[in-house]
């Protein structure tokens, strides 16, 4: 049994919520698509057999398919899979669990996971499954958020929450930023017989109309952070929102917009 079983159940429930899914697509997909396009351009070639793991709404699945790859998308969210089938009609879209994939051994040239690993309760088990379905010398490529020490966006949000929120209501969960550390990524992947090839940072940013939008993103378009925020008292929520808005307003004003950097780690590894 995973130490994060409750977290896993909440993730499944949250990503079955159409409102959260739609808010995620509105706020996060401009960034995840930017990074996904980078992955596709640098790692995918025509004729690759590719698994898009935690494919979500399927926009990266579609890009990979358009490059001439034979792509399968896998996700646990029926809400997301409806959108993925519309986005990538030529791909095979499968509902399934990243920790117990419904595929034979050694069938994919590449497995990509664009911001999916943080939603998986048992990440070592998922990495073992990724290694199992990869062909010998196949490649795994994933993207994940860089932590608050190097990410202005997450520093603003998690700084406000650390100052004002009571975290006792939140279930334990995997470290959201763990794979952004090269040593952790290399060691954890090596345990699954995946040898790290590259660990790099890709620049991205949220372009906001109002300082309050960054708080809204985490309240409405996430499962874990949104649940934590909603568990607070009204007064505490107001303090968190005000703190984040003040940081955005004072540090990221760019005339008529607010540009908040949110760097991303992209990691690649080979099946060893």
Residue range 34-57, pLDDT digits in tens: 999 999 999 999 999 999 999 999
First to last CA, the chain: 27
What tokens appear for 124 in the block? 């070592």
Residue range 97-148, pLDDT digits in tens: 999 999 999 999 999 999 999 999 999 999 999 999 999 999 999 999 999 9
Residue range 167-189, pLDDT digits in tens: 887 778 889 999 999 999 999 99
Query: Is the distance from CB of 43 to CB of 101 less than 8 angstroms?
Result: no
Q: pTM value?
A: 0.94
pLDDT, residue 1, reads: 38
pLDDT, residue 2, reads: 55
The domains of the chain are located at 5-148+174-207+262-271
Sign for the pseudo-dihedral over CA of 59, 60, 66, 71? negative
pLDDT average, residue stretch 265-271: 98
Residue range 200-241, pLDDT digits in tens: 999 999 999 999 999 999 999 999 899 889 989 999 999 999
Residue 105's closest CA among 8, 9, 38, 193?
Answer: 193
User: Which of 2.40.160.40, 3.40.50.150, 3.20.20.70, 3.40.50.20 would CATH assign to domain 5-148+174-207+262-271?
Assistant: 3.40.50.150
Continuous segment of H or E residues that includes residue 6:
helix 5-14
Query: Is the distance from CB of 2 to CB of 121 less than 8 angstroms?
Result: yes
């Amino acid at each position: 049994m995973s130490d994060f079983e409750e977290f896993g159940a909440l993730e499944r429930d949250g990503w079955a919520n159409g409102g959260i899914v739609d808010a995620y697509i509105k706020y996060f997909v401009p960034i995840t698509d930017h990074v996904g396009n980078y992955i596709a351009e640098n790692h995918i070639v025509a004729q690759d057999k590719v698994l898009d793991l935690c494919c979500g709404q399927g926009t990266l699945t579609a890009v990979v398919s358009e490059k001439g790859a034979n792509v399968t998308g896998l996700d646990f969210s029926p809400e997301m899979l409806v959108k993925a089938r519309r986005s990538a009609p030529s791909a095979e879209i499968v509902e399934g669990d990243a920790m117990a994939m419904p595929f034979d051994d050694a069938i994919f040239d590449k497995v990509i996971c664009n911001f999916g690993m943080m939603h998986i309760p048992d990440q070592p088990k998922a990495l073992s499954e990724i290694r199992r379905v990869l062909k010998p010398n196949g490649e795994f490529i994933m993207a994940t958020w860089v932590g608050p020490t190097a990410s202005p966006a997450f520093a603003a949000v998690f700084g406000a929450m650390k100052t004002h929120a009571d975290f006792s209501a939140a279930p334990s969960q995997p470290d959201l930023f763990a794979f952004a550390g090269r040593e952790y990524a290399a060691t954890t992947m090596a345990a699954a017989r995946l040898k790290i090839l590259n660990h790099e940072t890709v620049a991205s940013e949220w372009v906001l109309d109002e300082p309050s939008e960054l708080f809204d993103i985490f309240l409405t378009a996430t499962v874990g952070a949104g649940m934590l925020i909603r568990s607070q008292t009204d007064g505490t929520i107001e303090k968190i929102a005000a703190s984040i808005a003040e940081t955005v307003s004072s540090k990221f004003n760019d005339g008529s917009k607010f540009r908040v950097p949110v760097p991303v780690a992209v990691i690649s590894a080979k099946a060893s």
